Copies of this chain bind each other. A is one copy, B any other.
């Protein structure tokens, strides 16, 4: 490709209803485009402090070590594990989807021993089985589970696992990449020792940073390490020396613009308020599923473990799932996700995360999907899908005293 042929950035408008990135608020894009200042400028250090304060509120934690790592959510996963795990350490890992599988892979790359507790993709990890594995495994350094499994749309109940971990003397590691700011997460009350997320899901910030929080208990375990952290870039002790107000030692150049954006996205989250934001995610998921039901499309997970922000639904066997997704993108500018791993070709993953979770987007998707499926002679009354969703919104309005 000749570089002279590469012109100004130019791409179509998109409605992002996939597994992330989600749509980004104009205020966040504006923050992103502010002039870059130095990573040791006192003005920027204030911005770091503010970002930490906002993150603590969203994570529901008082952890001093609460900050944004300079990498995506997957870097957060690796960072937590490479800091906590020393070669030979046993780690019990909940494996019921792609991201649980990734946790186990990274534990092994860190030299740890991953003890998988499996469940079928589409179901949560069974607490009883988890407890049995922990108790028969000898000393366990940590237990790691995924709060919101983005590959299957399944929610894992965290609170009882936190108690199990304390009893077993294990650290509790939680993947909150997709859950943070989209459903309740209470790091301190649920006894979580290390929790990481990504910016591009329910925070509705562009991808590129990983918010992370680590308890004093986990920091003490890191201080007791016999070997140096295998990663220099992700070494929490070195990163803390930059983020901590009294030190500010240079480690690497902070991604200034992305931190502006994260700060603004966190401000938007807290302006809406976490309870209102969680309720909004619930409502739009309910409306979407009501509409999809009319089209004969049903969720993979059972009702009590479904994620509101990531709706994993079974594609009817007769339907060419990739073709439908391509048509949604090409004709309507709407992105939804396909299946990963064992679910490839079998499911759609419809994200309603952060700014993407609106009635307009739900109704547009249902209408477009209805049109595409009826052309394929699948859906008989496609226009009733959006109507079913609209009925959910009307009902919710009545409950809130709003007359439609």
Contact = CB atoms under 8 A, between A and B. Distances in A.
Interface in A193-208: 198, 200, 206-208
A4 B266 CA distance: 11
Contacts of A109: 228-232
Nearest to A11: B43
Nearest to A2: B53
A15 to B, nearest CB: 10
Interface residues on A, range: 35 or more
A75 interface: yes
A243 to B, nearest CB: 14
Contacts of A36: 16, 21, 23-24, 200, 206-207
Contacts of A340: 250
A53 B228 CA distance: 38
A41 B329 contact: yes
A74 interface: yes
Contacts of A258: 206, 208, 255, 257-258
A72 interface: yes
Contacts of A250: 340
Interface in A6-32: 6, 9, 11-14, 16, 18, 20-21, 23-24, 29-32
A54 interface: yes
Contacts of A62: none
Nearest to A338: B40
A286 interface: no
Given A3-B54, A6-B53, A21 B256 contact: yes
Nearest to A102: B232
Given A30-B33, A256-B207, A270 B11 contact: no
Nearest to A98: B250
Interface in A99-145: 102, 105-106, 108-111
A254 interface: yes
- Copy number in this complex? 2
A400 interface: no
B9 A35 contact: no
Contacts of A43: 11-12
Interface stretch (A44-52, A156-164, A215-223): A44-52
A302 interface: no
Contacts of A251: 74
Listed residue (A1, A13, A260) with the most chain B CB atoms within 10 angstroms of its CB: A1
B208 A70 contact: yes
A60 interface: no
Nearest to A6: B50
Given A23-B36, A50-B1, A253-B207, A230 B230 contact: yes
Given A24-B36, A74-B232, A208-B208, 8 more contacts: A18-B38, A21-B253, A23-B36, A41-B335, A74-B251, A74-B252, A109-B228, A231-B231
25 contacts: A3-B266, A3-B270, A4-B270, A6-B54, A6-B263, A9-B47, A11-B37, A16-B36, A16-B37, A18-B38, A21-B253, A24-B35, A29-B33, A32-B32, A32-B257, A33-B33, A38-B335, A71-B233, A72-B254, A78-B232, A102-B232, A108-B228, A200-B253, A230-B230, A250-B340
Interface of A: 1-4, 6, 9, 11-14, 16, 18, 20-21, 23-24, 29-39, 41-44, 47, 49-50, 53-54, 57, 70-75, 77-78, 82, 102, 105-106, 108-111, 198, 200, 206-208, 228-233, 250-258, 260-261, 263-264, 266-267, 270, 329, 335, 340
Q: Which 4 A-B pairs have the closest CB atoms?
A: A208-B255, A33-B33, A74-B252, A11-B43
